[in-house]
Every structure is written in structure tokens, then in C-alpha cells.
């Protein structure tokens, strides 16, 4: 059946409109299990008769207690501010769950792709070193990589403290590049090969504008000035394609003298509003 991905606030708005009802399945995701808004959304969904499932790394957390069933993220606790392994682990878990419901098993292709990306850290280091004054990043992704683009922009902001925006492939070609300059950096994420023509168009535009950045697809990291959308070499892997952005954010942080594992402000007050205490 149809699946809709929403943040907790928009989910609650749908709930108020009567779009969540008996027969619906509501899956709430919180790595810590303490997200106030997500826990509240699951509780309200349960009151409406929906079947609720929590996805969390903490089986004793408030979100685990709020749901009918639990899917445990097998990544352990992340003590740093910007979460990385939890994202990939969550995506892999959700993909694996969908495949299990379909009666098939997840393969090790994403693992192989991640290993390939990790083996190209020199490319990341090189392109980052060539752009030491980067002050704005664009992350472009569509389809299954739209969420990857959103997460990637967040990680660049959290880890490197560089303002970042994410766009769908098509939307990116209609205005955002008016802010592109020598201090901008663009990350383009892979898309399924049936969109090869649009990807080729995007790369032509970026190369015409002299954009600095990388193309991430099919286990390969390519500088934008030499990137191409060759048929058969485009692929979308949301569990793996986030990894080069995490590496890039870390390298930018080091070049800028930022601490990549800490956020730039004390989150104690923010947590008092966004997090529930551990029971």
C-alpha cells in the first residue's frame, strides 16, 4: 500500500485531519528513543486505532514503551552530537524490513559500496583541500536519495558548521544556483539510471557554471569537473551514499579548525524542550 514519510509535526496535522485511522500503520523513528514529538505522535496514532511500531536503538526508551512493537536499530549508542552510524543503520533496517515483508532478503551490496567509498577518502581530502574557503554547500538528490540529501546537508552543518541546503534534482536547476560562487560546494547524489538524461543535464549546467564539488554514485566519488552520467553507472543507494558526505563534512571541519564531534552550542536547554527523560 501507499507509504508517506512525514516529520512528527506534519504527521500530527494529518492525524487531526482524520488521515490516520484504524488499519493505518504508524512507524516512529528516534535513535535515542526520547524525541518528545515522535513519542507523542505514536501515542496519538495509537489512540486513533493505528498499529504503532517504534524504530530505536534503545529498547527501554519512551518511544519503545509508546509503541505496540519495536524494531531495534543494531548500532549501539552514539555519544557524539552529530549522529552518523545511526542514520545508515536506520535506513538499512527500514530497507531490510520492507524486503522481509516482501519475502526477500537484503544483500551485502550496500556494504560493498560503503567499503568502496571509504577507500576513496583521498579524493574527499583532495577536493576539500582545494576549497578551503567554502561557506555554502548544496546537496542534490532525488528519489530514494532525497532523504540522503536532507541528511547530508544537516551533517555538513552539524559537523563542519557550514550553511547547507538540499534540493531535488529538478528543483536545483530552477534558481538555487544564482547563489553559486567560488566559495560554494555542490554534492550531487546518484539517481536510478532511468533519469540519466536529467542527471546529464544537471552535470552540464554545473560544469558550465564552473561549480566545485563531487558526484557520488555506484561506489565512486568523482570531482564535478570530470563527472558524467554514463548509462549503467548511475545508482541510488541511500544506506551507502551518505558516507562520502560524512567524510566530506569531517574533512571540512578539520580544515576549518572545528571540532567535528561537537555541536557549536550547549544543547541542554534545547533538550529540555525536544527530549523526554529516560524512565
Domain residue spans in the chain? Answer: 8-102, 117-256
pLDDT (0 to 100) of residue 10: 96
What would the grid cell of residue 123 be?
579524493
Q: What's CA 140's distance to the chain center, in Å?
A: 11
Fold of 8-102: Rossmann fold (3.40.50)
pLDDT (0 to 100) of residue 279: 58
Lowest model confidence (mean pLDDT) among 163-172, 180-189, 229-238: 229-238
pLDDT of 231 over the 70 cut: no
269 in helix, strand or coil?
A: helix
Q: CA separation (Å) from 21 to 16, 47, 54, 70?
A: 10, 9, 18, 20
| pTM beyond cutoff 0.85 | yes
pLDDT of 265 over the 90 cut: no
- Asked if 8-102 and 117-256 have one fold, the answer is yes
pLDDT (0 to 100) of residue 218: 94
pLDDT band at 243 (very low <50, low <70, confident <90, very high): very high
CA distance 31 to 86: 7
Q: Is 104 exposed, middle or buried (0-12, 13-18, 19+ CB in 10 A)?
A: exposed
CATH class of 117-256: alpha beta
CA distance 67 to 232: 42
Amino acid at each position: 500500500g501507499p507509504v508517506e514519510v512525514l516529520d512528527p509535526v506534519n504527521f500530527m496535522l494529518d492525524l487531526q485531519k482524520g488521515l490516520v485511522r484504524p488499519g493505518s500503520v504508524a512507524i516512529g523513528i528516534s535513535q535515542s528513543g526520547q524525541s518528545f514529538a515522535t513519542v507523542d505522535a505514536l501515542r496519538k496514532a495509537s489512540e486513533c486505532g493505528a498499529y504503532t511500531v517504534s524504530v530505536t536503538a534503545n529498547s527501554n526508551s519512551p518511544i519503545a514503551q509508546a509503541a505496540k512493537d519495536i524494531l531495534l536499530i543494531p548500532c549501539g549508542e552514539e555519544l557524539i552530537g552529530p549522529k552518523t552510524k545511526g542514520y545508515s543503520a536506520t535506513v538499512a533496517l527500514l530497507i531490510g524490513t520492507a524486503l522481509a515483508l516482501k519475502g526477500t532478503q537484503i544483500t551485502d551490496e550496500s556494504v560493498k559500496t560503503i567499503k568502496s567509498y571509504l577507500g576513496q577518502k583521498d579524493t574527499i581530502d583532495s577536493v576539500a583541500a582545494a576549497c578551503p574557503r567554502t561557506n555554502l554547500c548544496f546537496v542534490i538528490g532525488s528519489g530514494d536519495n532525497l532523504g540522503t540529501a536532507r541528511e547530508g546537508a544537516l551533517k555538513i552543518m552539524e559537523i563542519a558548521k557550514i550553511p547547507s541546503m538540499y534540493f531535488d534534482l529538478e528543483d536545483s536547476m530552477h534558481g538555487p544556483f544564482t547563489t553559486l560562487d567560488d566559495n560554494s560546494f555542490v554534492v550531487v547524489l546518484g539517481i536510478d539510471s532511468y533519469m540519466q538524461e536529467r542527471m546529464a543535464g544537471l552535470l552540464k549546467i554545473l560544469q558550465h557554471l564552473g561549480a566545485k564539488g563531487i558526484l557520488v554514485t555506484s561506489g565512486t566519488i568523482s570531482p564535478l569537473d570530470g563527472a558524467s552520467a554514463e548509462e549503467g553507472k548511475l545508482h541510488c543507494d541511500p544506506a551507502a551514499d551518505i558516507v562520502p558526505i560524512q567524510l566530506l563534512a569531517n574533512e571540512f571541519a578539520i580544515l576549518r579548525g572545528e571540532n567535528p564531534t561537537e555541536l557549536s552550542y550547549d544543547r541542554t536547554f534545547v533538550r529540555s524542550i525536544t527530549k523526554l527523560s529516560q524512565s
